[in-house]
Structure 1
Amino acid sequence: MTAIPQGRTRRAALVSAVCALVVGLGAGCSEDPDAGTNGVGKLPAAQIQAKTKTAAGSVDAVKLSGSVVTSGRTYKLDMRLKDEGGTGSVTSDGVSFHLLRVGEQLYLKADAAFWKHEDGKSGSDTAAADKLDGKYVKVPTGDPSYKKFSVFTDKDLLLDGLLTLHGSVKTDGHHEQSGTRTIRITGDGGDGGTLDVSLEGEPYPLRLVRGGGAGALTFSSWGKDFALDEPAKGETVDYGKQLPTS
Structure 2
Amino acid sequence: MPASRTLIASLICATAALGAAGCSDEDSSDQPFEGKSADRVAAEAVAATRDATSLRMAGKVAADGRPLTVDYHVDTRKNCTGTMVADQASAQIIHAGQVTYVKGDKGFWASAAKNTAGGRKDTRALAGRWVKVPVGDASTTGLCDKQGFLADMDSDKSERKGMTKGDATTVDGKKAIPLTKKKAGGETVTMFVAAEGKPYILKLVQSGGKNAGTVVFSDYGKPVHATPPPANQVIDGTRGGQTS
Q: Give secondary structure in 2 for the equivalent of 1:228.
A: coil
- Give ranges in structure 1 of 5+ residues lacking alignment: 1-30, 121-126
Matched with 1:148 is: 139
> Is 2:131 aligned against 1:137?
yes
Comparing 39-48 and 164-173, the one that deviates more: 164-173
1:81 aligns with 2:74: yes
The Cα offsets for residues 150-205 of structure 1, whole Å up to 9 and x where unpaired, read as 11211112233358865412212211111111111012379351101111211111
Which residue identity does 2:98 align to in structure 1?
E
| TM-score normalised by length of structure 2 | 0.71
- Identity among equivalent positions (%) equals 25
Residue type of the alignment partner of 2:190: T
The structure with the largest helix share of the pair is: 1
Query: What corresponds to 2:196 in structure 1?
Result: 200
- Displacement of 1:219 in angstroms is 0.6
CA shift at 1:119, angstroms?
Answer: 3.6
Rounded to whole Å, the distance in 2 between the matches of 1:89 and 1:61 is 17
Equivalent positions of 1:29-178 (< 5 A) are 33-34=30-31, 39-40=32-33, 42-70=35-63, 73-85=66-78, 86-119=80-113, 128-141=122-135, 146-162=137-153, 166-178=160-172
- TM-score normalised according to structure 1 size: 0.70
Aligned residues: 200
Deviations 1:200-234 (A, max 9, x none): 21111111013645221001111111212222211
For residues 159 and 224 of structure 1, do their structure 2 counterparts lie closer, same or farther at Cα, with a shift above 3 Å needed? same
Relative contact order: is structure 1 or structure 2 higher (C-alpha 8 Å, sep ≥ 6)?
2
The secondary structure found in structure 1 opposite 2:62 is: strand
Q: Which amino acid aligns with 2:196?
A: E
Relative to structure 1, the CA distance from residue 161 to residue 65 in structure 2 (aligned partners, 3 Å threshold; closer, same or farther) is: same
AA matched with 1:235: Q
